[in-house]
Amino acid sequence: MNQPETKPKMEFSENVTRRHLSGKVWRVLFLFSTFFGILALATLLLNIINQSSGYVIYKAKVDPVTLAVDGVPLKSQTKEQLMSVLQDNLSKGAYNKIDRDQPFAEQSRDDTYDLVITRIVKYEVETSWKLWDSLTKRGEIMQTAQTEYPNDLLRFNVWINPDFLRRPQSSDPVVAGVRTALLGSLWVIGITILVAFPLGVMAAIYLEEYAADNRLNRIIQTNINNLAGVPSIIYGILGLAIFVRTLEPFTSGTLFGITDPTTANGRTIMSAGLTLALLVLPLIIINAQEAIRAVPGSLRNASYGLGATKWQTVWSHVLPNAVPGILTGTILAISRALGETAPLVVIGASTVIFFDPENAFSKFTTLPIQIYQWTSRPQDEFRFLAAAAIIVLLALLLSLNATAVFLRNRFSRRY
C-alpha cells in the first residue's frame, strides 16, 4: 500500500443538533401536508353533508289532511284508497291519461302515493335552510315559519332518504329521486366490468409472460402506459365515433330485434359501458401487470424446476399470487369509471329521463351526470338533491373499495 504523502486534517464540526433540527423542519412540513389534505377532504365532506339535510317550508296546494279517506290519513292509505283520491280530485280525462301512460295495475302502492303528491297535493318548496343554519338558528327559523308562512308545513328534511333512492328522476324537486341514475350507473359499470376485466387481465398476462422483449412490444407497452393518461373526453369522442355511430346497429340493439324508438342513434347503455371499458382498459392492464410482476421469481423457478410448462406455472402459481393485486387494481379502475362524466356527455347520456333502463340498449343517465344536471339548476332544492346524490355516489365508491379490501384480504390469506 502506498502511504499518502499528506494526511488530511481530521477535524469535524459538531453538528448533531443542527442535523436533528433539519429533520424536525422536514417533519413539520410533512405533517402540514397531511393536515392540508385532511382539511380539504373534511371541507368537502362537511359541505356535502351541510347541504344534504335541513329545514324546509313546504306549501301544499291541497292540504293532505283534507284528503283523508274514512279517517285514514293519506300516508297510511292503501293503493285502492289512493286511487280513489286521485279519481275524486282529478278530471276524468287526466285520470285516464295517467292510466294510459302508467297503468295503475302495474303501479306499486308507492308509485300511486307519489302520483297523489305530485298531481293533487303539489307540495312546493317555499324556502329552505342548510343543515348548519337549521341547527344553529332553529329558533329564528321557527319564528319565520310562524310569522311569514303560518299555513305552510315546516319540516326537517333529510334529502337523502329511502324515498330518494326509490324514486325516479323528476322535474319536481319534492319527489325527485335518484333511482334512474343509480340503475343507469350500475348497468353501465356492469358492462364495463364484463368487457374490461377479462380483456385487461388477459392482455396483462400476455404482455408479462409471453411477449418477447423486442421493439414492437416495447412500443405497445409504452402506448398502453400513455393511454392511461389520455383525457377521458377523448375516449368519449372515440366512443361516439365507434360505438354510437359506426356500430350503431349493435349498440342500439336493432341487431337483436330491439326496436325501441326512444333508443335510436346508439346512445345507449351499451355504448357507454364499452366506452368506459376502453377508458379503464389501460389502467387494468397496467395494474394487473404490476401484480403479475410482483410474484417472486423464486416461485416461478420452483415451478419450472419441477418440469412445469409455462402455462402450468402461470395458472397454478403466478395468477393465484397475483389475484389480490389484480382485483385491487381492477376495482380502483372501476371506481374511476363510475365517477366519469365527460365521456358520457359526449356519448349522449340523457340528462333528463324518467324511466328506468330496461336492458343494455336503453337510454340512460348516470349518477355523475345527474349530479351535474342538478347542480346546474337555479333552485336551491336541486342543489340539496345533488348533495344527496353525491353521498349516494360516494357510498357506492366506498363499498366498491371495501370490496377490494375484502377480496385482497381473502385471497392473500395463505393457509
Asked if 138 contacts 155 with a C-beta cutoff of 8 angstroms, the reply is: no
Answer yes or no: are the C-beta atoms of 258 and 359 closer than 8 Å.
Answer: yes
Binding other proteins by CB under 8 A: which of 7, 92, 100, 414?
Answer: 414
Minimum gap (Å) between residue 389 Cβ and other proteins: 44
**From 13-21, 270-278, 306-314, 366-374, span contacting other proteins (CB under 8 A):** 306-314
Residue with Cβ nearer other proteins (51 or 321): 321
Q: Which residues contact 196 (CB under 8 A, 6 or more apart)?
A: 276, 277, 278, 280, 281, 284, 330, 333, 334, 337
Size of the site for other proteins (CB under 8 A): 21
Nearer to other proteins, 232 or 321 (CB): 321
Contact window for other proteins (CB under 8 A) among 107-115, 116-124, 146-154, 297-305 = 297-305
Residue with cell 387481465: 201
Can you tell me which of 167, 317, 363, 383 binds other proteins, judged by CB under 8 A? 317
Nearer to other proteins, 208 or 340 (CB): 208
Q: Does 294 bind other proteins (CB under 8 A)?
A: no
Among 68, 238, 247, 299, binds other proteins (CB under 8 A): 299
The residue with cell 287526466 is 94
Does position 301 bind other proteins by CB under 8 A?
Answer: yes
- Cβ 219 to other proteins, closest distance in Å? 18
Closest C-alpha among 70, 107, 319, 128 to residue 209: 319
Nearer Cβ to other proteins (6/298): 298
Q: Which residue, 32 or 315, is less far from other proteins as judged by CB? A: 315
Q: Which of 6, 162, 306, 378 binds other proteins (CB under 8 A)?
A: 306
CB burial readout 25-46, b (16+ within 10 A) else e:
eeeeeeeeeeeeeeeeeeeeee
* 362 vs 265: CA distance, rounded Å: 11
Residue at 144: amino acid letter? T
212 versus 216: smaller Cβ distance to other proteins: 212
DSSP state of 275: H
Which parts of 177-216 interact with other proteins (CB under 8 A)?
212-213
Which of 43, 136, 223, 309 is the binder for other proteins (CB under 8 A)? Answer: 309
Tell me how far, at minimum, the Cβ of 2 lies from other proteins, in Å: 20
Looking at 132, 250, 304, 355, which residue binds other proteins (CB under 8 A)?
A: 304
Closest CA to 242 of 265, 204, 217, 271: 271
Query: Which residue of 1, 14, 76, 415 would you call a contact of other proteins, by CB under 8 A?
Result: 415
Distance CA 207, CA 209 (A): 6
Stretch 225-254 residues interacting with other proteins (CB under 8 A): none
Closest CA to 273 of 303, 305, 241, 251: 251
Binding of residue 312 to other proteins (CB under 8 A): yes
Using the rule CB under 8 A, is 298 a contact of other proteins? Answer: yes
Choose one: 4-12, 41-49, 71-79, 308-316; the region binding other proteins (CB under 8 A).
Answer: 308-316
List CB contacts of 134: < 8 A, sequence separation 6 or more.
53, 54, 55, 141, 156
How near is the Cβ of 316 to other proteins at its closest, in Å? Answer: 7
* Cα angle 215, 218, 223; round to 5: 130
Give the residue with the Cβ less far from other proteins, 12 or 415: 415
Tell me the torsion sign for CA atoms 45, 47, 51, 54. Answer: positive
Question: Of 103-111, 131-139, 246-254, 310-318, which part binds other proteins (CB under 8 A)?
Answer: 310-318
Indicate the residue among 22 and 316 with the shorter CB distance to other proteins. Answer: 316
Backbone angle region of 115, left / alpha / beta, with phi > 0 → left and psi within -120 to 50 → alpha: alpha
Least spacing, CB of residue 305 vs other proteins, in Å: 4
Pick the closer one to other proteins by CB: 44 or 220. Answer: 220
* Cα separation, 168 vs 158, whole angstroms: 17
Find the binder of other proteins among 40, 302, 352, 395 (CB under 8 A). Answer: 302
Q: Where are the beta strands (DSSP E) in 29-171?
A: 53-60, 123-128, 153-158
Least Å distance, CB 414 to other proteins, is: 4
Nearest distance from C-beta of residue 193 to other proteins, angstroms: 28
Helices (H), 155-260: 162-166, 179-205, 215-227, 232-239, 248-251
List residues near other proteins by CB under 8 A: 212-213, 296, 298-309, 312, 316-317, 321, 414-415
